[in-house]
Amino acid sequence: MRAARGVALCILMLLLLAGQALASQVSHHRFHSELLGRDYPYTLYLPEGYHDSGLDYPVLYLLHGSFGSDRDWVTRGALKEIADRMIRQGRIPPALIVMPGSQSWWVDGHNEPARSALLEELLPHVEEVWRVVPEREWRGIAGLSAGGYGTVNFILERPELFAAAAALSPASYYPLPPANSSAREHAAFLTPEGRFDADLWQRLNYPAHLDSYLTQDYVVPLYLSAGNRDVFDAVGHARRLQAALEENQPGQVPLEVLSGGHTWRVWRASLGPALAFMFRYLQPPQPALSQAP
């Protein structure tokens, strides 16, 4: 009887270890950034079975908000639980999700070249180190608040890089951020004298990229969401953005208005619909060509 129990325990342990090997994983990474002059942090979601699948995957870059970090989407946004559930249910394919950290608003601002570091260093690093397909049709980008601001700017300026996007409560304020916005006290937009740089905001905000985007051949479907009690009127600003894009890409700029404010409750609620929308346009995993682990 004791021997039988020992065998059963060994089998149980093997099953548990196998389950752990197959389960999705969240890990934290850094690489040296020449542009930033420091390490560039990012949190990484790997889907179940990544290491043994023999597949190359689509990749989603998921940006945090103002004064946030690369860990926010996992610790506050329930990213792992939501992605696990949607993959298990077949609502999205297995994918890598990269959550970078930035000390800026995803712009080349007064404090650091965050835009350039993401485009010129993070994307090549991820495509070299991890098994993702390094082509537009397998690459998406999304973010909340300041990360939504960055997302909109990235897709309008560089639409050849991203096949789908989502901006949750995007802080894409026009013509200037409201008086209560943290943009007005963020180092990205503060002059050396400590004043908010309105000219820089207008040079970097999405209207500066609209004309060139609307005259080129790429279209980036964009999911928008915001809370109906958002203290920054994110709904109103999102409607303005939607109107600017809708004629160019009809039916590909949905806006979902949720009950709530500028809060994680709204962003968690809209993450699932945002993922479902983006993966309608992103390609699924394919047999691996890369040599990454």
Cα 246 from Cα 57, distance rounded (Å): 30
CB hemisphere CA count around 140 (13 angstroms): 28
Question: Can you give the pTM of this predicted structure?
Answer: 0.92
**Residue 232 pLDDT exceeds 50:** yes
User: DSSP H helical segments within 23-140, as ranges?
Assistant: 72-75, 79-88, 114-117, 123-129
Which residue type does 97 have?
A: I
Radius of gyration of the chain (CA): 20
84-100: pLDDT as tens digits: 999 999 999 999 999 99
Structure confidence at residue 6 as a pLDDT band (50, 70, 90) = very low
Domain assignments of the chain as residue spans, ordered by start: 28-287
259-292: pLDDT as tens digits: 999 999 999 999 999 999 999 999 999 999 867 7
Specify the fold of 28-287.
Rossmann fold (3.40.50)
